[in-house]
Structure 1
Amino acid sequence: MPEIPGTTTTTRPTRTGRTRPRVASAVAAMSLAALALTGCATDRVSPSEARADALENPAGSTGGDGKAAKAGSAGRNAAGAKVPVDCEKTKCIALTFDGGPGKATPALLDILKKEKVHATFFLLGKNHVLKYPETVRRLAAEGHEVANHTWTHERLDTLDKDAIREELGRTQDAIAELTGRKPTLMRPPQGRTNDDVTAVSKELGLSQVLWSTTAKDFSTTDSALIAERTLDQAGRDGIILLHDIYDGTVPAVPAIITELKKRGYTLVTVTELLHPAQPVPGAVYDQ
């Protein structure tokens, strides 16, 4: 993405060890505006930058057509049924789950209900949304944020635009049929994105959400280890990635929530973490 005149940038390592530009929050409005106009997939916006943008330049929180994106993703909580947490003043962290729903998702929902926590669920269409329609309805009814994780978990950066549109669009339609709302958030499989993914995401009204914390729960069934890895990486404005389809994950969630609350965190959805910013279609959100 071209450098924005008059801004200062720093670099930080990515999860692959590379560096990428980060724009200071004082110029976050310019960064988001440029992203909306160019669709550049390599520029990423942190929750704190998005909030600063919304506070300093409300027009910067709109889509490329100048219209504000609708808050939330296919859930009552996400749609604004309750007053969002002010994460500028509150120590927030977002809890997200990929790959479901699955057979363990109802048990996870019981835990979240008991703890009075809402999460963001990035759902797979084929073999998940279609297999567990009642769970999808329950997710939305209980105020969780229902988001898109593609139809078959194909890496989007390896596909052409038509195939990307198929992967995301089919899941959009399947979720909307069950909940009455199309998601406004998506997570690309493996966190892989490019300009084509960004362009199609923008076309479909989807913001891209990455993560700052991963327990790699696909690699272990040890619930204590999953909790330890998650808590070791947890930080303010973080986005936790877990999977409700792996055997060790759901049993780890009570310990994760308990310890995060003990550390003073308020657990929120991704949209709440960004508030008062509204997710910008095509934008890539990462800590």
Structure 2
Amino acid sequence: MPAAPGTTTAIPKGTGRTLPRIASTLAVISLAALALTGCSVDTTSPSEARADAPKGAAAFTGGEGKPGSAGRNAGGTEVPVDCEKTKCIALTFDAGPGKDTPELLDILKKEKVHATFFLLGKDHVLKHPETVRRLAAEGHEVANHTWTHQRLDTLDKEAIHDELARTQDAIAEITGEKPTLMRPPQGRTDEDVTAVSKELGLSQVLWSTTAKDYATTDSALIEKRTLDQAGRDGIILLHDIYDGTVPAVPGIIAELKNRGYTFVTVPELLHPAKPVPGTVYRP
């Protein structure tokens, strides 16, 4: 399960090998406390990434040339979202796809919202190839969340590579493209994870908002937690595999639109910068 925001750290190798599988909020809290003993990992915010982008950078285009668009100008040309001027927020979903993901996609299509999906390989991508294909076809950003959701900071480089590369290959076989973004399970990363991510052309993406939807089926609570934490240039972390999450999404989208937010994918949030492999992005 993901740890709370602000606990992203490098933990000495082997620390997590003897820890049991996370199955409760208490376990998550314990791991968060353990994380504080590690060394911090440098992160880059979306605003910092945009500020460092080369002047006159080309307009963002997503996979297969799909534009990250805020609309069309008078000439009919797609206009990319400018999150320096626009109040942007990114909606992301981890650990799918699952049985409820098609319903979520219906909601996003109706609301004209594109999201970023960090997919698990073994028990999700392989079991739901049609959903993965639909994600890509409908303009969502398809990203990597490892093969089996092991904490990467507890593995050696070879195992880290295996966890990420197998999911890269599985997604590419379905969509024709390998992801450029990944999210480490629990947000746990270190120098080895960064090195392997860079080697595989993957940027690391963390978050600023979490509803801890893995610990509740209360959709109203998930909605409230998300809205309470939402902010400009934020990255919302939800999971499309838990029963309470998808029913909460329409209310989240409606209220954030009412507050003046524009929903973007993670690459759009960074535009005109391009995600740099190995870099850890966090609002």
User: Quick check: TM above 0.5?
Assistant: yes
Aligned equivalents of 1:111, 1:159: Cα separation in 2:
37
Contact 2:93 2:239 in 1 (8 A): yes
Give the aligned partner of residue 270 of structure 1. 266
Q: Please tell me whether the aligned partners of residues 147 and 167 of structure 2 are also in contact (alpha carbons under 8 angstroms).
A: yes
Shift of 1:42: 1.4
**In the alignment, which residue of structure 2 is the partner of 1:48?**
47
Q: Give the counterpart letter for 2:51 in structure 1.
A: A
Moved runs in structure 1, 4+ residues, more than 4 A?
55-58, 70-75
1:213 matched to 2:212? no
Cα 1:101/1:17, change in 2 over 3 Å: closer
- Report if aligned partners of 1:209, 1:286 keep a CA contact under 8 Å in 2: yes
The question of whether the paired residues in 1 share the 8 Å contact of 2:43 and 2:280 is answered with yes
Question: Please, what is the CA RMSD of the aligned residues?
Answer: 2.6
- 2:118 paired residue among 119, 122, 139: 122
CA distance 1:248–1:74, shift in 2 (3 Å)? farther
Pairing 1:281–2:272 present: no
CA contact (8 A) 1:51 1:276 kept: yes
Partner of 1:10: none
Matches within 5 A, 1:234-273: 234-273=230-269
Match of 1:143 in 2: 139
**Do the aligned partners of residues 200 and 73 (structure 1) sit closer, same or farther apart at CA in structure 2, a change above 3 Å counting?**
farther
Write the letter of the residue equivalent to 2:192. D
User: How far did 1:83 drift?
Assistant: 3.8
Q: Distance in 2 between matches of 1:237 and 1:277?
A: 14
CA offset digits 1:112-150 (Å, max 9, x no partner): 000000000000000100000000000000000000000
Deviates more, 1:146-155 or 1:49-58: 49-58
Give unmatched runs, 5+ long, in structure 1.
1-13, 19-39, 59-67
Contact kept in structure 1, 2:8 and 2:187, CA below 8 Å: no
Q: TM-score, normalised by structure 1?
A: 0.80
Q: Give the share of equivalent positions with the same residue, in percent.
A: 80
Match of 1:15 in 2: 6
TM-score (norm 2): 0.81
Q: 1:236 and 1:117, CA in 2 relative to 1: closer, same or farther beyond 3 A?
A: same
Q: 1:17 to 1:52 in 2, by over 3 A?
A: closer
Q: Taking structure 1 as reference, are residues 285 and 95 closer, same or farther at Cα in structure 2, changes over 3 Å only?
A: same
Structure 2 residue aligned with 1:65:
none
Instruction: Choose the corresponding residue for 1:199, options 186, 195, 199.
Output: 195
- Retained in 2: the 8 A contact 1:231–1:256? yes
